[in-house]
Amino acid sequence: MLIGKPSDIPSSEITSQDQYDRYMNRRRFLRGAASSVVTAAAAAVGAERLAEIVSPGTGVRAATSLQTVKSPLSTTGEQLTSLQDLTHYNNFYEFGVDKDQPAQNAGALPTRPWTVRIEGKVKTPKTFDIDALLKLRPLEDRVYRHRCVEAWGMVIPWVGYSLSEFINQCDPLPSAKYVQFLSYYNSKIEKWASGTTINWPYSEGLRMDEAMNPLTLLTFGLYGQVLPNQNGAPVRLVVPWKYGFKSAKSIVAVRFVDKMPPTTWNEQNSQEYGFYSNVNPNVDHPRWSQKSERRIGQPFYAQRHTTLMFNGYGNQVASLYNGMDLRKYY
């Protein structure tokens, strides 16, 4: 299943298949060259693709490749956002409220060892090591449009696999109707945000059918490399038809529950941030319009894009909300 291009993008701005293929071939070559550089370091920790080399003070790891396969769920015909923009224009409030602060501060995030606890309404609570998660299923390259509630967007080549594959390993009970995701929390680590009113840890949640949709991605990397710290290392969620804050970063616990779980931004201001937070041009944020977005990294004349319902993924997800008033359940 290929996801069609949105109607608002002129054909002159669409990357041709030949250009994309040349780009991908070049990236694979560069990835292979980078991989050879870090092989020795990787062997020292016993896992070639799990090496972790952090540039002090930047939160950006040196290139560490992930073995991937192409995904039929990838969005086609979109100009990718540069790695520089992806890693230096971030929302990660644990490491600062300004867009450039996570790249400066998130190097303090300890990403090894790392485990994810499975709790709540499951047959047996369990814990997954990050290495086991990486080996659970083949990792896929998936290009997704990403839309922030602040009316800016990116096009990101993520690496991961459908969250449903992971949920199936968790053995949730039939009474589990929602999934809650809790992010890493440790106010004692260097550069942790202070002076905010947020109740840590960061919490997000999905209805079970949303979590099981094939587009919902358990994510370990971008541009074929492991996630930089400021992008939610070592494992995060990506839900491409929802505003970006729904995609929890640096996940340490997954809870299966029978009632709608509390979520961070909904608790902060429920009038501005609903539980569902589907991309919807017809429901404005109280302080700005959602009818268009600014694509980060594109030339000024090409930055403004019309907002698409469900971020353009309506063919895959609209049926989840049949019969719901999306102005009420925003």
Ordered structural domains, the chain, with CATH: 11-319 (3.90.420.10)
User: CA-to-CA distance for 130 and 70, rounded, in angstroms?
Assistant: 22
Would you give the DSSP letter of residue 254?
Answer: E
Q: Locate 189 and state its tokens.
A: 């680590």
pLDDT of residue 44: 30
| 45-59: average pLDDT | 36
Element (H, E) at 20: helix 17-44
Residue 131 has pLDDT above 50, yes or no: yes
pLDDT of residue 196: 77
| 28-46: average pLDDT | 36
Residue 47 has pLDDT above 80, yes or no: no
Q: Whose structure tokens read 């290929």?
A: 2
pLDDT of residue 179: 98
Beta bridge partners of 179: 206, 256
pLDDT of residue 287: 92
Write down the mean pLDDT value for the chain. Answer: 85
Residue 65 has pLDDT above 90, yes or no: yes
Residue 315 has pLDDT above 80, yes or no: yes
User: CA-to-CA distance for 116 and 114, rounded, in angstroms?
Assistant: 7
pLDDT of residue 20: 40
What region does 6 belong to: left with phi over 0, alpha with psi -120 to 50, or beta?
beta
Q: Locate 123 and state its tokens.
A: 């047959």
pLDDT digits (tens, 9 = 90+) for 96-118: 999 999 999 999 999 999 999 99
User: CA-to-CA distance for 276 and 241, rounded, in angstroms?
Assistant: 10
Residue 55 has pLDDT above 80, yes or no: no
CB-CB contact of 223 with 154 (8 Å): no
How much of the chain exceeds pLDDT 90, in percent?
76
pLDDT of residue 155: 98
| 53-74: average pLDDT | 69
SS (H, E, C) 43-58: HHCCCHHHCCCECCCC
pLDDT of residue 197: 83
pLDDT grade, residue 190 (50/70/90)? Answer: confident
Residue 235 has pLDDT above 70, yes or no: yes
R_g of the chain, CA atoms, integer Å = 19
| 29-56: average pLDDT | 35
Q: How far is CA 112 from CA 1, 51, 54, 129, 190, in A?
A: 36, 10, 11, 10, 16
Residue 3 has pLDDT above 80, yes or no: no
pLDDT of residue 96: 93
pLDDT of residue 295: 97
How much of the chain exceeds pLDDT 70, in percent?
81
Q: How far is CA 254 from CA 186, 220, 330, in A?
A: 17, 16, 23
| 266-293: average pLDDT | 95
Residue 32 has pLDDT above 80, yes or no: no
Q: Locate 328 and state its tokens.
A: 């009420």
pLDDT digits (tens, 9 = 90+) for 135-185: 999 999 999 999 999 999 999 999 999 999 999 999 999 999 999 999 999
